[in-house]
Every structure is written in structure tokens, then in C-alpha cells.
A and B are shown apart, each in its own frame.
Chain A
Amino acid sequence: GENVEQHPSTLSVQEGDSAVIKCTYSDSASNYFPWYKQELGKRPQLIIDIRSNVGEKKDQRIAVTLNKTAKHFSLHITETQPEDSAVYFCAAAFMNRDDKIIFGKGTRLHILP
């Protein structure tokens, strides 16, 4: 089955700087890669996702890149702000098969003032 590895587990960046979180997956058939943000005590919320037919997707300060050959994908947050502090989870799934979304263990992002 699918296995998703996420790094780093904790990341601290200065406000205004960029943050990058990286994930690798094992099942080459996976074709859907969502990213979730979870603030303390709250539910995970989808912030961006990418499907395997594209290599990059951007939404304002957030971008995701996908390298299918290497089976890794990354989340990039530019011009970080205090409200970006949260735990971020990557995930992978083979949609149209079992649609089972496998999550990484999460990255705790701290934005330093």
C-alpha cells in the first residue's frame, strides 16, 4: 500500500521568509496530492491540491510542485505570516481506484516574529 514520508517534522522560519515542506510517496500509481493545514485544536482544512497531470500549482502565497519520476512533492509558502503557524499534512491517493488518502505525519511550522 501507499506510504507517505514528510520532512521536516518541525520547521521555524522568520516572518516574511519562505517555508518549504517536502513529501515522498511510494505508490507510483498515486495521482492526487492534497495538502492540509491544521491549527491547534481545529480540523484539517484543505489548502491546495495537485493532480498528477500537472507539475506545479499556485494559489497566492502557496504553491505545490510534483515530481512524478522521483515520487516527491513539496509545499512552498512565500512571505510567511504569523497566521501560517500550524501543522501541515501532505497526503497521497490513487483516485478512481480506492480513493484512500494516506497522510504524512505532519510538519509543525512556527513563524518567528
Chain B
Amino acid sequence: EAGVAQSPRYKIIEKRQSVAFWCNPISGHATLYWYQQILGQGPKLLIQFQNNGVVDDSQLPKDRFSAERLKGVDSTLKIQPAKLEDSAVYLCASTPDRYGTQYFGPGTRLTVL
């Protein structure tokens, strides 16, 4: 079974620039999560999708972050404009339904200079 795919794996940008990350969950997985993991900390949930609807985005900084999951499959997370404190690994995870084990992608390491 193919795992969760993410791209790019690494991204370096300057502050105030924009960046987008892409996630392709495991086939058939209805629930998709985006996490932010700052170095030395645990993953922090940014947004949770159930199919193409948002279940929870309470910790998403909506003034600069946005995410969508068109057609309930792939998802993109965008940061516009980026700040220095956005430097982190952005992890995507998916589960087959709302109650299953989360499978994580390899993450995108973002460095904001």
C-alpha cells in the first residue's frame, strides 16, 4: 500500500514570500490532517478535513495560512506571506475514517530566512 505523499520535501524562502505544500493521502482515506512541527516539539494540528469539508481549523492562523482539499483527495496548504516563525516541518496525515490510525507523510521542511 502506498503511503502518504508530500511535496516538496524541502523549501527555503525569504520572509514575506508565499509557499504552497501538497499532500496526497493514502487512497481511500477520508480524513486528512495538516500538522506543524517546530523543532523539538510535538506536531500541532493546523487543520482537519473530512472528505472535502473542514472539521477543525481552530489553530490555523487564517490571516496567512489557507488550505483546501478539492474533490476530497489531494490537499494543499499555503502560507502567504511567510514569517520567520513559520520555519518548521509541515506534516500531512490521513486516516481511513474518523476513528482510524493516523499515517504520516514524510513532511516538508520549510525554512524562512
A interface residues with partner B (beta carbon < 8 Å): 6, 34, 42-46, 49, 89, 91, 95-96, 98-106
Given contacts A34-B101, A95-B98, A95-B99, contact A89 B42 (CB under 8 A): yes
- Interface flags, B72-113, vs A, CB<8A=1, else 0: 000000000000000000010000001101111111000000
List the B side residues contacting A106 at CB < 8 Å: 40-42
Known contacts A89-B43, A98-B48, A105-B42; 20 further A-B pairs (Cβ under 8 A): A43-B107, A44-B43, A45-B104, A46-B102, A49-B101, A91-B42, A95-B98, A95-B99, A96-B99, A98-B55, A98-B56, A99-B31, A99-B48, A99-B55, A99-B98, A100-B48, A101-B102, A103-B44, A104-B42, A106-B40
17 contacts between A and B (CB under 8 A): A34-B101, A42-B106, A43-B91, A43-B104, A43-B106, A45-B104, A46-B101, A89-B43, A96-B98, A99-B31, A99-B48, A99-B55, A99-B99, A100-B45, A100-B56, A101-B45, A103-B43
Residues of A within 8 A of B56 (CB): 98, 100
Q: Could you say which residues of chain B place their CB within 8 Å of the CB of A95?
A: 98-99
Q: Which residue of B lies closest to A1 (CB)?
A: B58
Q: Which residue of A lies closest to B91 (CB)?
A: A43
Chain A's closest residue to B42 (CB) is A103
Which of B's residues lie within 8 Å of A, judged by CB? 31, 40-45, 48, 55-56, 91, 98-99, 101-107
List of A residues within 8 angstroms of B107 by Cβ:
43
Instruction: Please name all residues of chain B whose beta carbon is closer than 8 Å to the beta carbon of A99 when the two chains form the complex.
Output: 31, 48, 55, 98-99
**10 residue pairs, one from A and one from B, having the closest CB atoms:** A103-B42, A43-B104, A99-B98, A89-B42, A44-B104, A95-B99, A103-B43, A105-B42, A106-B42, A43-B106
Q: How far is the CA of A103 from the CA of B45 in the complex (A)?
A: 9
In the bound complex, what is the Cα–Cα distance between A71 and B23 (angstroms)? 35
Instruction: Give Cα A91–Cα B107 distance, bound, in whole angstroms.
Output: 19
Q: Which residues of A contact B42 (CB under 8 A)?
A: 6, 89, 91, 103-106
Minimal Cβ-Cβ distance residue in B for A9: B40
Within 8 Å CB of A104, what residues of B?
42
